[in-house]
Copies of this chain bind each other. A is one copy, B any other.
């Protein structure tokens, strides 16, 4: 029934505004999904979220129009397959450092012949319709995180992996990997050049460059540079900013 808005927007030449949820609450997930994001990702890596909570969060996002995504905690077929069964229509996979690791990620995300995902009718058909399996190659988007020096060195090979839809830059870890402090919106020339390099190599290979940003201003700049999906911080950031702003006003 439903398609993947990330794929649809990309196919139409547009850019995706992605939300990110780090607290284990299906209510919060639905609230985020109702604010106008194109997609919302459940962060199983750095979020305080476990698999069972991710199930209800992916359901909650699906009540609204945003497409449900997830970041798995590691490049591990257990988490990749379970999260897809739970109804994620796209995955962000951390710490993809080589073409082999990228192929492992894509393989676990797709049915044969492209991959080796194990078959079952779980939440995919409930979300996307009875022909989910037939359409799953197009429905599921795969985003490999590029966030280490090794990944930077291997980027030319990584983007050649068949079936990989996008690379997703994690600026903080990439900065650490290059010997700098983690900054959500980096200004170090070496980091900026690395980000630009990854973007250019991806574009050239027909793989979408995407990135985790520090917020809307950062995202708008990234869209301007050619990034095709930007995550706008997460809901914990909004809570911290909102609480500190309102406390400041109350105590003024």
Contact = CB atoms under 8 A, between A and B. Distances in A.
Interface stretch (A158-166, A191-199, A200-208, A243-251): A243-251
A226 interface: no
Given A76-B78, A86-B48, A236-B31, A26 B56 contact: yes
Given A56-B59, A238-B238, A241-B242, A120 B247 contact: no
A153 to B, nearest CB: 15
Interface string A60-88: 10111000000001101111011001100
Please classify the interface of chain A as helix (H, G, I), strand (E, B), loop, or mixed, using the class held by over half of its residues.
Answer: helix
A63 B59 contact: yes
A49 B79 CA distance: 12
8 contacts: A24-B52, A25-B28, A26-B55, A28-B236, A216-B246, A219-B246, A220-B249, A238-B239
Interchain residue pairs A-B with the least CB separation, the first 3 = A238-B242, A216-B249, A46-B120
